[in-house]
Amino acid sequence: MPLVSEIAEMQEVSCIGKTSAELHPDIPEGKVLNHGGFVMSKPIEVDGAPTPFAIKGKYDLVMEFPDGTYGVIDCKFQARASDKGQFYSPQLEAYAFALENPVKGEPKKISSLGLLVWSPVKIRGNSSGNFGMELSCNWYPIKRDPQALQDRLAEFIGVVTGDVPESKANCDQCKYIASRREILGNG
């Protein structure tokens, strides 16, 4: 079995109740409020009209800040510390959207997003005792961009709800879909 989920859970649990200074000095001042919470947004609106789609997911950590706002932290365990904020930005922005527009409960104003990245440095110990792993800890803030998420969602929703393009005789995927429909009787 892979260790990813076990390591991720250990990382998140180690953060419960800690202040930002205890996690990393560059995280805005605050305290971990929740970990491993599920979120679901109200229906996503496109051009001012609600759609049948919503954001649903599970965040790693939510921080509470003294000014009454909140932050979403995604915990990562990487072989080498590197800033993957651009890659994970849509995921964290989606959590922020769901927390700011929850289907139930009070909305939370999200002012900060970021990645808390642990990376192995070296193994300590020996076979007659316990082994331990020294880890580095890095903080990579992610700039909020709710409009980029909204644009991406609107484009996606437009594709999945839009008209199906005409199939072409030389399209292998079209042939596959047509034959599946024929076999399943819903063509």
> CB count, 10 Å around CB of 65?
18
Q: Is 180 exposed, middle or buried (0-12, 13-18, 19+ CB in 10 A)?
A: exposed
pLDDT at 104 over 70: yes
Confirm if 63 and 77 have CB atoms less than 8 A apart.
Answer: no
| Chain segment 148-159, per-residue pLDDT in tens | 999 999 999 998
> What's the pLDDT at 4?
75
Q: Mean of the pLDDT values across residues 8-21?
A: 92
The total domain count for the chain is 1
pLDDT at 7 over 80: yes
- Res. 91 pLDDT band, cuts 50 70 90: very high
Parent domain of 96:
4-184
> What's the pLDDT at 126?
83
d(CA 150, CA 128): 56
Q: Mean of the pLDDT values across residues 69-94?
A: 94
Distance in angstroms between the alpha carbons of the first and the last residue of the chain:
41
Q: In the block, which residue shows the tokens 């599920």? A: 38
